[in-house]
A and B are shown apart, each in its own frame.
Chain A
Amino acid sequence: MNRRMLRRGISNLMVGLMVLAVVAALLPLFFILADLVAKGAGSLSLDFFTKTPAPAGETGGGVAHAIVGTLLIVGIASLMGLPIGIAAGIYCAEFPGSRLTWLTRFVADVMNGTPSIVVGVFAWAWIVATQKHFSALAGSAALAMLMIPMVLRTTEEMIKLVPNSLREAALALGYSRWRTSLSIVLRTTLPGIVTGSLLAVARIAGETAPLLFTALGSQYMSFDVNQPMASLPLTVFTYATGPYEEWHRNAWAAALVLILVVLVLSIGARLAIRSRFTLNG
């Protein structure tokens, strides 16, 4: 009897420890979000979104240049990365037995684990070193490279969820294979692919490391993608490690804007995926 009590006691103790682990795991999330709002919200103003930085040490000014830069860099990266990732994903799902599928899938897994800083070095060696100047385009190329494996895997998984009977029905009705793929299979999975792409965009929007020596960052408004350009994550980094109080305040505000964008994109995408296809049970 005593021994049984002991065993049940241990069981309950372990469950208690696990609940503690859950609390400990959720605390950082709560603190980070709370601190971002507490320290960042105060600096958000119209000026913050519409003005470029004031000279170092002075108050005022905003991060309009970084917002524009992020939009441009991430936009171009998406234009480069999404078509390749989606096409490769369709290929892997449509030709599952092919040797190229095996290779592509394996390489995508390798790329998914590659540190983003390494991809940054690659983009530097490829574009910056040959052009002899930093450019936003090189940053976009690095981000596109990071996007491809993510988009590839979600596209493939989504297409695999389409029941084979649907495909067969279309083929039996006399549709050719490409029309079956495009107007039956892809149309059914379009919401899934869109949300997968949004997740990838959310992921690269917060990337800093690959931009450090490609897009480099700048203090001025710039629309020339062949020149160095600012971006929100780079601005957070520069301002956070800089010496001025004003910079620190703006770093918090820029981080708040960044995280709002990222969370809205990724929470929205996740909820959409989850309600449509119950992936993880």
Chain B
Amino acid sequence: MTERIAARDKLPVMTATVTPPEATPLPSAPPPPPLERTSYGDRVFRVLLTLGAVSVPVLLGFLVYQLWTGSELAISKFGLGFLTSSTWDPVAEQFGAFPLIFGTLVSSFIALLIAVPLSLGVAIFLTEFAPKAIRQPIAFLISLLAAIPSVVYGLWGIFVLIPLLRTTLFPFLRETLGFLPFFQGPIYGPSMLAAGIILAIMVMPYVMSVSREVLLAVPDSQREAALALGATRWEAVITTIVPYARSGIIGAIILGLGRALGETMAVTMLIGNRHEIATSLFAPGYTMAAAIANEFSEAVGDLHLSALAYVAFLLFVVTVVVNAGARLLIWRVARGSGAGSRAL
């Protein structure tokens, strides 16, 4: 018995020692692959990929550098007072960006005020209530809104939306809410409110698709627990699902804000482009992006150009901060799902 076991134990050892001498002399055997972890080809491949990867941060660094040197003249002349001054006079070479900052904030705020309830409603409907068959098609159609070029929104805004607003919504608002200072005064076509409304349409698909991704990341156990405790489906949404996804939804909204702040063409075509601060939303205004778009190619003086570059630099800093905050919040809920960066 013991002998047989010993013999069996030896067997694999025997074959293992015997096979290599049989295998090596075969004439057609391929040469063994190199054992170093990186061959020549690997090194070339890695260098090429690294070049591609390195060039991305290098490009951004270069962008920041160019914006900084471009705006140096204006920064040294106006400093931070640029942010609070309201004069914009290319002839006298006096520049202040307060009306631009004000217009950017107000138009984005109007956009979010309209877009957030709409897109949250759509996102909640699509993840919680809609029949399975129509979820994808509706999400797809709304995402098409994000594919329409900004200049087409502007065109549509000039020739369709503004005439429509002038005859319907604006007079209506003035009659019903006219006691508020926002809805008083003469009705022009191009106005802060028109720009805010077109921005709302443009921002909505982003907020919708990111908050949808965040809501999809809420575990089913949360829904089931709420329903099992006797909540109606709406109560499950409002007491359980939305609070669970709250920081992600806030992230989606801030992401939308980032889009609205930097949106250029449609706003330029609808806002009226006036360096003024008006309380009435029917009055024309200006935004940072619109001012750059309108005046940059026609600016003559170095200081005028530099002031516009300063505005671009400010806009860049603001959108970077806003987007970083948004991604951090989204990332906290939909960890690793790439929501936000993948969205559209």
Per-residue contact bits, chain B 153-169, to A (CB 8 Å; 1 contact, 0 not)? 11110111000000000
Interface of chain A: mostly helix, strand, loop or mixed:
helix
Q: Within A163-180, which residues are at the interface with B (CB < 8 Å)? A: 174, 176-179
User: How far is B255's CA from A212's CA once the two chains are assembled, in angstroms?
Assistant: 25
Contacts of A85 in B (CB 8 A): 52
| Cα distance A237–B155 in the bound complex, in angstroms | 7
Interface residue? B94 (CB, 8 A): no
Q: How many A-B residue pairs have CB under 8 A?
A: 280
Instruction: List B143-199 residues whose CB lies under 8 Å from chain A.
Output: 143-145, 147-156, 158-160
Q: Does A116 contact B (CB under 8 A)?
A: yes
Q: Are A84 and B55 in contact (CB under 8 A)?
A: yes
Which residues on A sit within 8 Å (CB–CB) of B156?
Answer: 31-32, 35-36
* C-alpha spacing A241/B189, complex, angstroms: 14
Min CB distance A69 to B, Å, is 15
Q: A91-B49, A262-B148 are in contact. Are A115 and B289 (CB under 8 A)?
A: yes
Task: Judge whether B26 is part of the interface by a CB distance below 8 angstroms.
Answer: no
- A107-B57, A148-B59 in contact; A10/B149 too (CB < 8 A)? no
Q: In the complex, which residues of chain A have a beta carbon less than 8 angstroms from the beta carbon of B255?
A: 113
A26–B138 CB distance below 8 A: yes
A132 to chain B, nearest CB (A): 13
A278 to B213: give the CA distance in the assembly, Å.
14
Question: Among the listed B39, B52, B70, B316, which residue makes an inter-chain contact with A176, where contact means beta carbons less than 8 Å apart?
Answer: B39
Assess the A109–B341 pair: CB atoms within 8 A.
yes
CB of B44 closer than 8 Å to a CB of A: yes
B44, B118, B320: which contacts A21 (Cβ < 8 A)?
Answer: B118
Asked if A259 and B338 sit within 8 Å, CB to CB, the answer is no
How long is the Cα–Cα vector from A64 to B139 in the complex, in angstroms?
35
Contact across chains for A24 and B118 when beta carbons are under 8 A apart: yes
A15 contacts across to B, CB distance below 8 A: 125, 129, 233-234
The CA of A28 and the CA of B266, in the complex, are separated in Å by 14
Inter-chain contact A258/B152, CB cutoff 8 Å: yes
Q: Are A121 and B67 in contact (CB under 8 A)?
A: yes
Using A119-B63, A179-B41 as known contacts, say yes or no to A21 and B121 having CB atoms under 8 A apart. Answer: yes
Q: Is the CB of A208 within 8 A of B42?
A: no
Given A114-B320, A178-B42, decide whether A153 and B341 contact each other with a Cβ distance below 8 A: yes
A280 and B213 contact, CB distance less than 8 A:
yes
Assess whether B342 is in contact with A11, with CB atoms less than 8 Å apart: no
Inter-chain contact A115/B296, CB cutoff 8 Å: no
Pair B141/A26 contact, Cβ less than 8 Å: yes
Q: Which are the 7 A-B pairs with shortest beta-carbon distances?
A: A115-B262, A87-B52, A206-B149, A21-B121, A113-B323, A178-B45, A11-B234
Q: A177-B38, A252-B155 are in contact. List 16 more A-B contacts (CB 8 A).
A: A25-B142, A28-B201, A32-B156, A84-B56, A90-B52, A114-B319, A118-B63, A118-B262, A118-B319, A120-B292, A176-B42, A203-B147, A209-B265, A236-B155, A252-B159, A267-B144
Contacts from A to B (Cβ < 8 Å)? 7-8, 10-11, 14-15, 17-22, 24-26, 28-29, 31-32, 35-36, 39, 83-88, 90-92, 94-95, 100-101, 103-104, 107-122, 124-126, 129, 134, 145, 148-149, 152-153, 157, 174, 176-179, 181-182, 202-203, 205-209, 212-213, 216, 233, 236-237, 240-241, 248, 251-252, 255, 258-259, 262-263, 266-267, 270, 279-281
